[in-house]
Amino acid sequence: MADLDSTRYISDLNQAWVALGIGLVYVIYYITFVVKKPLIICGNPRLRDFIDTNLPVLNEDYWPLFWCLNGKFQTLLKGVTNKTVRISVNWTYRRDVLVTPDGGEICLDWVDNDKKSLHLRDERPTVIIVPGLSGSSGEVYVIHMVESVQKLGYRSVVFNNRGLGGCRLKTPRTFCPKNTEDFRTVVQHIRKDYPNAPLFALGASAGGLNLFHYLADYGKDCQLNGAMIVSVLYEMFASTKNLETFPNVLLFNQTLIRDLHYDMLLPNQDILRTHKNLDVNSILQTGKETTHSLKPVSLKWIRCSDLTKAFDEMDEILASSNRPSISHSPYRTDVWLQGLETILQGLQSNWTYAQNQNTYAIHECG
């Protein structure tokens, strides 16, 4: 009996040492190969000196999530937490329904931050948050953005695109990153309510692309004091191709289609049927097949409804939605943040773009 207990003790001790050894190796790997300073790509030495001086955080090491290093796994984790995790917040949105000139509706969700802000209400800095393709004010990442803005003592307003965030379509027009008319309407509306408050914008993914097109379209007349663009799609053709490759087509393509199917298409199918260029039945059937199987369906069935024209070819949509050249914008400094393992964009096209433009790029390590 004593020999048996001794054997079990030694076995447990050996397992503990093995586990400790594996953990130690992982820690050494994490600190040595994962924790790094951001990779900086800059086509202009003067711009590099300027940002190095004004953004000292770039000289600090980036520490990815210790137990989830890969960017793709982090994206998957976001998808899981979005459906299962309920974040407790100490604020509620104030909804403002904005009627557009063509009869559509945009839902703006405000967090005024009256209790925590030291700024007067009329002069309180305001941040417009623009979610991604199928995102809205209820997304986990958007809530975190709102909380960050709140900690600064600022006011935030989430720009829910038409048909999203619980806002029904009133016309058969949805969202296209290239079209900036709705963005202009939102900015003018906020400026009218708070003319003395500094106004900033924060766009993520497709929302960031829409923001950049807005800056390029309106330039010095954009009425924004500053803007930040995160994880934007710089080259739509490369992004779509990457999204349609294995395993992205199963892991991420389906998620996008599923969200658009249930949040946008199904609730608004009646009004979408009034658009002469949209085959709604075909779109709904494709979305249904995708959400109930592992069939790798392309995003090419999505159509973008524009005020002046309907896009009949996906290539035309992609080409028109590409990020405009920096030469089209009066803002010569373009700062962007991109993950090295991003799903929607390859590193090579970003590297080439940064070297050929007056551009500063940051690629997260890990």
Question: Mind giving me the DSSP string for 87-117?
Answer: ---S---EEEEEEPTTS-EEEEEEE--TTT-
Would you state the pLDDT for residue 302? Answer: 39
Task: Please give the pLDDT value at position 228.
Answer: 86
CA distance 143 to 346: 28
Nearest to 240 by CA among 162, 184, 190, 301: 301
From the list 356, 86, 202, 139, the residue with the least C-alpha distance to 348 is 356
For residue 357, the model assigns a pLDDT of 46
pLDDT tens digits, the chain, 366 residues: what are they? 555 566 666 676 778 888 888 989 999 988 888 888 877 777 677 777 877 887 787 788 888 888 877 666 776 666 666 655 566 777 899 999 999 999 999 999 999 999 888 899 999 999 999 999 888 998 888 999 999 999 999 999 999 999 999 899 999 888 888 889 999 999 999 999 999 999 999 999 889 889 988 998 998 899 999 888 887 776 666 777 777 777 777 767 777 777 887 888 888 889 988 887 777 777 666 655 544 443 433 333 333 333 333 333 445 544 555 555 444 444 434 455 556 555 455 444 444 444 444 444 454 443
Nearest to residue 245, comparing CAs of 299, 176, 322? 299
What is the pLDDT, as a whole number, of residue 280?
75
pLDDT recorded at residue 296: 38
* Among the listed residues 15, 40, 41, 180, the one whose alpha carbon sits nearest the alpha carbon of residue 100: 180
Q: Identify which of 334, 342, 335 has the alpha carbon closest to the alpha carbon of residue 365.
A: 342
> What pLDDT is attached to residue 311?
36
Give the pLDDT of residue 328: 42
| Model pLDDT, residue 336 | 58
What pLDDT was estimated at residue 222?
92
Q: What is the pTM of this model?
A: 0.78
Q: Which amino acid is at 205?
A: S
**Do the beta carbons of residue 264 and residue 164 sit within 8 Å?**
yes
Six-digit token string for 99: 């009627």
